[in-house]
Every structure is written in C-alpha cells, then in structure tokens.
Amino acid sequence: MPSGNSVTWTIACRVLEFDLEFERGGFLLQAAARIEAGATGICGPSGCGKSTLLALLAGLLPPRSGTLSFRDQTLVDVAAKKFVPAWHRHFALVFQDGQLFPHLTVQDNLLYGYRRRAAGERRFELQQVLDLLEIGPLVARRPAQLSGGERQRVALGRALLYSPQLLLLDEPLASLDERLKQQILPFLRRVKEETHLPMLYVSHARTEVEYLADRTLWMEAGRLPV
C-alpha cells in the first residue's frame, strides 16, 4: 500500500484503447475495446484468445493489423509501422505459472523491476508486499524450491513492486488455495481503489472477476467487441 505521504495517482477515465487483429496457426483473434480506469475483467471459455490478447497488449506479440494506445500515447499502429516494445510500455503481466527467473533468489526476483524504477515512481515497498502475500520466509530461496502457490505469490509481488502503469493478470490465482485467494483478492482491490492502478484481470472464475472488476468483457472464439 502507498505510504501516508504518498500522492494519489490520478488517471484519466479512459486509459487503454485497442483494435487489433492477430493470426497464428489458423486461429484468428479480432479484439477491440475502450478500457476505463479501475479493474476490467475478461471472461470467456478456454482457448478463446484471452491470454493471447494480454500478450498483444503487453507487447510480447506483434499484431497483424490494428492500433493500440495507452493514455492517448500510441503504442501500436501497424499501418504506420509503429510498435513500442514491451520494455518501454511499463506494463506488468502476471502469467499463470509465474515465470520467475530461476537463477535469482526470491528477493532478487521481487526487486528485479523495483530497482529499474526511479524512487519517485515506486508505489510499494518490499516489506509491505512480503507481509501481505506471506512470502517473507521465502526470500532466500530459489524458484525451484518453491511450491506452485508460492511461485505465484512471488510473481504477484514482483509485478506490484515494478509499479506498472497497467497490471495484466492472466489467471493469477489459479494455483492458490482458497485461503490465499481470499487474502490476495482484497489486497488487489485495495491496490485498485487506493492507487487507481488500472488492471485487466483474466480468469475463468467468475466469482473472482465479479469481486475485483468494475466491468466485465466477454470473449468468445477470438472475438472481443467494443
């Protein structure tokens, strides 16, 4: 959570707008939306393209055609041959399996993005995240020494400590037990409400989406309409 001296981050109502097309292996994705501040849920059946969409937004995949803008800054315009790479977007994507750096300790994983942000851009501190995600005893371990749930909690902590402009969550709680889900979901909602950090939350669990999201977009067979 931000400290008592932190200045509240104010974000324009509409933060993300995209109209993208992507094709691979016979699968066609066509997605267009205008995303407002707060948390937006994306629901749909398995294989409908939700994770692919997040990868496109994060800059991990180039679209075949279309545009993407964040806070009125153009990140992608295929016709104009403009593509801002992932490392310049300052978005954080939390995958289902965490994807931690195996050669780093938990603490160094957590601080990887934190150390690359200027002090004035940091919204969270290490001890706050350690306490809230119950990962303090894990800081000296390597990812191979963690359980699946522990790895995912570390991945969530790393994303938050990066202080991203946009948080992309791809089934982030799927590997956690119910007790930890009920602990982390309120924390994510406090993050949303107190920092105004925009989030896209993908999950097949409608109860998670309904708890966290201000609005829900429905995706099916690679299609996401405005």
Residue 8 has pLDDT above 90, yes or no: no
CA-based R_g, the chain, Å: 17
How far is C-alpha 31 from the chain's CA centre? 18
What is the predicted pLDDT for the residue at 226? 65
Domain ranges for the chain? 12-90+165-226, 102-163
Q: Which of 86-90, 105-109, 120-124, 172-176 has the lowest mean pLDDT?
A: 172-176
Q: Edge-to-edge strand order for the sheet containing 39-43?
A: 91-94, 166-170, 199-202, 39-43, 215-218
Pick the CATH number of 12-90+165-226 from 3.40.50.450, 3.40.309.10, 3.40.50.300, 1.20.1250.20: 3.40.50.300
224: nearest Cα among 172, 174, 24, 216:
216
Could you report the per-residue pLDDT of 114-162, keeping only the tens digit for each?
998 888 888 889 998 898 788 999 999 999 999 888 888 899 899 989 9
